[in-house]
Amino acid sequence: MSVVEQHARAHILTDADLPDWDDGGAIPVLLRYDPDRDPRAVCVALPARGQAPASREWTFPRALLEQGLRAPAGTGEVRVWPCGRVQAVVEFHSPQGCSVVQFETKALMRFLRRTYTAVAQPVAH
């Protein structure tokens, strides 16, 4: 099975996490699904902030992302909920604090569709 990676733009809603981006807080985010590593999980990678050497990544159940696009879902480190008709919010908790990130729902839905398509494709031998 193949890895699905999709770049998306998101807005950081928490003041503490606003990196120095020129476009008002919109940041490039990497959405990744690796069915060989864990077919039930997705990964969201936020870019490094300030002098941080690497991006921050959260891996969580794909079902949580899907449920959170319809109604508030999640516990622990990741929570997802719809925000109006066209946006969704993902909240990431870590020992360093909380990052609240707003996505366009259609970008997350497109990513989820691609993950299910990747799983459905037969592997050629």
pLDDT digits (tens, 9 = 90+) for 61-79: 999 999 999 999 998 899 9
Q: What is the mean pLDDT of residues 35-53?
A: 82
Q: What is the mean pLDDT of residues 96-120?
A: 90
Strand partners, 78: 75, 92
The per-residue pLDDT for 94 is: 82
The per-residue pLDDT for 22 is: 46
Which comes out higher in pLDDT, residue 25 or 17?
25
The per-residue pLDDT for 25 is: 64
Task: Answer positive or negative: Cα dihedral of 77, 66, 6, 120.
Answer: positive
Per-residue pLDDT band for 34 (boundaries 50, 70, 90) equals very high
Q: Is a pLDDT exceeding 90 seen at residue 33?
A: yes
DSSP labels, 7-25: EEEEEE-SGGG----TTTT
Per-residue pLDDT band for 18 (boundaries 50, 70, 90) equals very low
- What whole-number distance in Å separates Cα of residue 101 and Cα of residue 15? 11
Helices assigned H by DSSP within the chain = 62-68, 105-120
pTM score: 0.83
For 17, residues 6+ apart whose C-beta sits below 8 A from its C-beta are 49, 97, 99, 100
Q: What is the mean pLDDT of residues 49-57?
A: 64
